Chains A and B, each alone.
Chain A
Amino acid sequence: MTEDLFESYKNELPAKLISDLKKEISKHKLSSKQIKEIVEKTKKEFEEAKINSGEAIGIITAESFGEPSTQMTLNVFHFAGVAEVNVTLGLPRLIEIFDARKLPSTPSMEIYLKKPYNKDNKKVRKIANQIKETTLKEVVSEFTTNLLKSQVEITFEKEKMRDIGITPKSLITILETSLKGTIVKEKGSTLILKPKTKDYKLNDLYKLKEKAKDVFISGVKKITHVLPVKTDSEYMILCAGSNLKEVLKLDEIDTTRTVTNDLFETQSVLGIEAARQAIITEAQKVIEEQGLNVNIRHIMTVADVMTSRGVIKGITRSGISGEKSSVLARASFETPMKHLVNASLTGEVDYLNSIIENIMLNQPVPIGTGLPDLVAKMKIAKAKK
């Protein structure tokens, strides 16, 4: 009975609203007449909550961002826990998001872990160390060039090696593969590096030493800092540097919650819908951190506009704003000569369908009260003329 009723509203109310209604109604004992009344009232409220046609949502969104951004504090950096991991926030970050810069000024990730790993501090620490990009110099206490034997000697710190889960043996294989043409030998607690060829100069030895320092030995590339953090119920890892693709491959990681603040990386790894969500969460993070309040619908509008082409487009002259159909509108926003010259070369036509063009011509703008138009064709009047 009630099912039929809800079914009949399928096209008039969103699915979420209907399921919520169902859940709430099932808690009470109501007659079908009362239920009908409730659904009717819901529908009425829903209709009233809708935006009217002709409402200037674009400009209202712009104003809703513009006004609070004037109040943002200029303190650009926010320290998440420890000074190690800092993230650009405030107005610079907001501009970065909306301009869709290819690389964020401080790329960072929030890595969540699967069930057994996310409760134990030690385990989290271990995973964090394994994720962190480590080069040879970080686990080595001393590099020496032995001139007598003409070889490079490396003394490594065992504790640090243990932390990232690397044995001297595995280190040798890593070094052998990454430093081609080099003999690697273990001698006590030191490693000896020697070029394979016999006739090498002292300079080559020095070069080898410098090269060996930057050999990547473990972790995920680009992740420069890791910071295990305790949230209310679990441990998670904050990272400076971002490499979503590689991190998601790790077994311990909760792939459903791990995110990066790099919009383009999100787009290439997870797709455009994920990028849209990333824009929303990132923008909201900035606004909330500043203690401001912008309705999420405004952020969603921006995110929709930026991602509706299937790729992320910034609100810049090379992005959305440069794609406006009107020549005059484009010319009124940055580099007017470029647009005017190109338009005249191709013989572009401006149909004066939008706001700015009409303001320039001092015509009523087609929005709000300027939108309604006469539908009836005034044939009789024309005939008389």
Chain B
Amino acid sequence: MTTIATPRRRFRIGRAGAWVLVGVFILITLFPFYWMLRTSFSTNGALPSHSNSLLPAEGTLDAYRRVLGLSSVSEALEKGGSTASVDFWLYLRNSFIVAISTTVVQTLFSALAAYAFARLRWPGRNVVFTIFLSALMVPPIFTTLPNFILIRDLGLLNTFLGIVLPNLLMSPFAVFFLRQFFLNISTEIEEAARLDGAGHLRTFFRVIVPMSAAPITTLAILTYVAAWNDYFWPLLVGQDENVRVLTVALGIFKAQTPNGGGPDWSGLMAATVIAALPVVILFTLLGRRVINSIQFSGVK
């Protein structure tokens, strides 16, 4: 009896310990978000003196009203906020346009290129791929300024095209990532399709894409999140009201002055919650598919 009980008990303790660990990870992940919510329901004036309270300091919806432009400018300033009234729905629409178009087009073109690099035989393939790959290492700071001047010369400042163009046609990471998966798709299925008389384009869309649905979805999600959160580039290129994206609009809640005068904390947190909401909703709706899509069954 005892000889069996000991390992089992040890096993149980181990299991309990492991669950505790899972709990700790979840707590560490979620607590900062709770704090974000708590701050967003507080008033700026009361935040410092209520720093020990786990509940909102003087619970209020003011910050949200401020962010959504529902309170007047002078009222907002009195609450320690900024004058930014945010035309939320317009900026939300703009963010969707930018993020969705970037995701769809970039993923498509990157997948096509990745397919050519992985499955088609053509002279200079590996050399060209290596050069493409090196783009992954070009510090973005290098490219920002020339690209900005280029976009200006093309007359695309303050247009959606100007905002998305540098990332529209490819991303070195996407090409690299997808090629890795395409390399490992069994050649037999592809050859069977070819024997049936399918062209390369048809093979790509009918065989390769369905078989790589998981990594392609993963990549699309990553691209979407990156495009949604992009800040510096749309700040430079899309200042006009009609194309301003949510992150740029909410950047106004960051530090206002060089010395002292920190950000409008409750406004900033409310803004972040609002900006994150569409991503979180999308994520909840597609949750199962998104999380399950992250797979590596192919990598070798």
Chain A partners chain B: no
Residues of B within 8 A of A (CB): none
